[in-house]
Amino acid sequence: MEEKKLAIIATKGTLDWAYPPFILASTASALGYETQIFFTFYGLQLLRKKLNLKVSPLGNPAMPMPMPVPVLIQALPGMQSFMSSMMKSKMKSKGVASVEELRSLCLEADVKMIACQMTVDLFEFNTSEFIDGIEYGGAATFFEFAGTSDICLYV
């Protein structure tokens, strides 16, 4: 079977948006795809050694809530952390993998991860805070692989 290729651009760094790139990349690898993820802008947060991802109900009326919470209450200090830990414990109870676990499964499966050098410079990220085994590159680096891919996703 000829090896297919999947290219993903990960642009978001919240807990909920961390899932699609890692779920798809790890599954694609299990199906025999060669996979690359290009992390840019807020997506770079997903490459930190120590992940502290959060999810916010603010500006997201679609987020299921155990009870209706008025927007002004959602904006109170501590609400974001509270919602994030609620979401994490819900996920755990449903047997959903943690982002850390999915990320290590991706690395184990040789998913190539590329951090956008421009964003690293822009936000003055310290690359020692990022996990090992990743590469740094720009848009042209992404297209070198994406141009030959069968599936290309922007997340």
Partner 1 sequence: MPDFDQELDASGLNCPLPILRAKKALTGMESGKILRIIATDPGSVKDFEAFAKQTGNELLESTEEGGKYIFFIKKA
Residues that bind partner 1 (CB under 8 A): 1, 23, 26-27, 30-32, 94-97, 105
Query: With respect to partner 1, which residue has the nearer C-beta, 93 or 128?
Result: 93
Shortest distance, CB of residue 57 to partner 1, whole angstroms? 22
Closest CA relative to residue 84, chosen from 108, 116, 110, 51: 51
Shortest distance, CB of residue 5 to partner 1, whole angstroms? 14
Q: At what angle do helices 15-30 and 99-108 cross, to 10 degrees?
A: 30
Query: With respect to partner 1, which residue has the nearer C-beta, 44 or 111?
Result: 111
Shortest distance, CB of residue 94 to partner 1, whole angstroms? 6
Largest CA distance in the chain: 55
Query: With respect to partner 1, which residue has the nearer C-beta, 93 or 126?
Result: 93
Q: How far apart are CA 62 and CA 129, in angstroms?
A: 33
Q: How far apart are CA 104 and CA 2, in angstroms?
A: 26
Shortest distance, CB of residue 68 to partner 1, whole angstroms? 27
CA count, 13 A, side-chain hemisphere, 147: 6
Query: With respect to partner 1, which residue has the nearer C-beta, 61 or 95?
Result: 95
Q: How far apart are CA 66 and CA 71, in angstroms?
A: 14
